[in-house]
Chains A and B, each alone.
Chain A
């Protein structure tokens, strides 16, 4: 007999794998946004190189928020959430697993993809590696904020969620981009450290808030 948490992991993974749209959606969104920037700003190599870190970060932020809103939404609608609550198991681990699986399927591919697109936007290779590192630390933060937005608006699933979350994500965005821009000097470590700290402290606070937000719908 499998444990509750292993079932959660397997169930969610199978759902993602069986529906190509759930992990292709963010990829398509990311690629099209990346393409829009050179079309809007022109293909000047110097200009794009200067903007590229920001372009990639913003595109990932938006692509992520779209997908993470629905982490808890479907479980709420089909009644799985009822069963989870009735099971009496710790919801903290359950929510963490759900967020992780979502991150694994929708953010991780984007991190690898961002390495490829950084060449198209003329970002130097060293900076691109830092970009991947900052995304690795930053995207889980976005996932958790997105999950919180989704948990707050379970019944409606509307734009309100993302408008709450984007201002909250700013530190991650700013620290990530600052780290990339200072990839040649020592300040880099300072910003990476801060980003990691932000991630570290976000985990307990945001997941607990997600649970509080889910509970709102069951009072």
Chain B
């Protein structure tokens, strides 16, 4: 799905990533580990095409890439529903939305403006997007942060669901998760 060769990246002459080599196969779930500041987020941003000032090669066969960053890309002044439907990543049927909202227990807040929601609820909104979207490669930066146990299980199931469809997933997290097929430590 994606192949990284001799990838290096530096910020103001300070090397952040040095000579990375790895490969991700279809239907593989990779758990990206590392200390704070080890360049996990940066690596995901490079793989998703947000940062392109790196050395080395990133070869990808993924037709489309789903990126979930630290900043969720949600608009405070829009409703939950608008935030989901007008998201650049939304590529599913509109009908599937209400079912997904029910699953994440957000159905009652469909028309609520986002600034009324807590951090955890916002996270959930962006995870509904993750649940609905059909992509080849998912790059998730801290998808489990700010979530309760129930939410964590939902995400694990979602990730498995995407895996069964043949997509690959790379996610970062500080805790251990048994869904991953492989761990990659930076």
Contacts and interface: CB of A to CB of B under 8 A. Distances in A.
B78 A79 contact: no
For the side of the interface on A, what is the size category?
20 to 34
B45 interface: yes
B86 A82 contact: no
Interface in A18-66: 18-19
B89 to A, nearest CB: 6
Contact of A11 (B71, B76, B78): B78
Contacts of B93: 1
B77 A218 contact: no
Nearest to A22: B77
A129 B67 CA distance: 49
Q: Most chain-A Cβ atoms within 10 A of its Cβ — which of B65, B69, B72, B86?
A: B86
A4 B88 CA distance: 6
B82 A14 contact: yes
A148 to B, nearest CB: 21
Contact of B48 (A18, A78, A86): A86
A87 interface: yes
B48 A15 contact: no
Q: Most chain-A Cβ atoms within 10 A of its Cβ — which of B67, B76, B88, B90?
A: B88
A79 B75 contact: no
Interface of A: 1-2, 4, 7-8, 10-11, 14-15, 18-19, 77-80, 82-88, 218-219
20 contacts: A1-B91, A4-B88, A10-B86, A14-B86, A18-B77, A18-B78, A78-B73, A78-B75, A79-B69, A79-B70, A79-B73, A79-B74, A82-B67, A83-B67, A83-B69, A83-B87, A87-B89, A218-B52, A219-B51, A219-B53
Interface of B: 45, 48-53, 65, 67, 69-78, 82, 85-93, 113
